[in-house]
Amino acid sequence: MPVKLSPAKILPPEHACYYLTGDDEDAVFEMADMLLAHASEQAIVMRVDIDELASVYENLSPGLFGESYCHAMVRNAASARPKQLDQLEKLAKNPPQGLRLMICAPGIEFKKALHKRLTALPEIAWCVFPRMDEIQFRRWLEGLIADAKLSLSAEAMDLLNDQLQGMRLAAKQAVERLRLYDDGEGAELDTQVVGDLLGERSPRDLAEFCHAVGERSSSALGILRRLLRGQQVSEIQTLSWLTTRIQQLLMYTWYEAKDRGSAASKARLFGEARKHVPREMKRWKAKELMQAMEHIAQAEMLLKGASVEDKLVVLERLTLDLIKRREFKPQVQFL
How many Cβ atoms sit within 10 Å of the Cβ of residue 6?
9
What pLDDT was estimated at residue 89?
92
Q: Which of 121-125, 190-194, 261-265, 277-281 has the lowest mean pLDDT?
A: 261-265
Angle, helix 25-37 to helix 168-182, in steps of 10 degrees: 70
**Residue type at 231?**
Q
305's torsion region: left (phi>0), alpha (psi -120 to 50) or beta?
Answer: left
d(CA 236, CA 300): 8
What pLDDT was estimated at residue 303?
86
Neighbouring-strand partners of residue 5: 127
d(CA 257, CA 263): 8
pLDDT digits (tens, 9 = 90+) for 60-94: 765 444 567 889 999 999 989 999 999 999 999 98
What pLDDT was estimated at residue 273?
81
Q: Note if the bond before 12 is cis, omega within 30 degrees.
A: yes
- Phi, psi angles (nearest 5°) of residue 139: -65, -40
Reduced to 3 states (helix: H, G, I; strand: E, B; else coil), residue 131 is coil
Whether pLDDT at 185 is above 80: yes
90 CB contacts (<8 Å, ≥6 apart)?
none
Q: How long a stretch of residues is the chain?
A: 335
Residue ranges and CATH numbers for the domains of the chain are 3-128 (3.40.50.300), 134-197 (1.10.8.60), 203-323 (1.20.272.10)
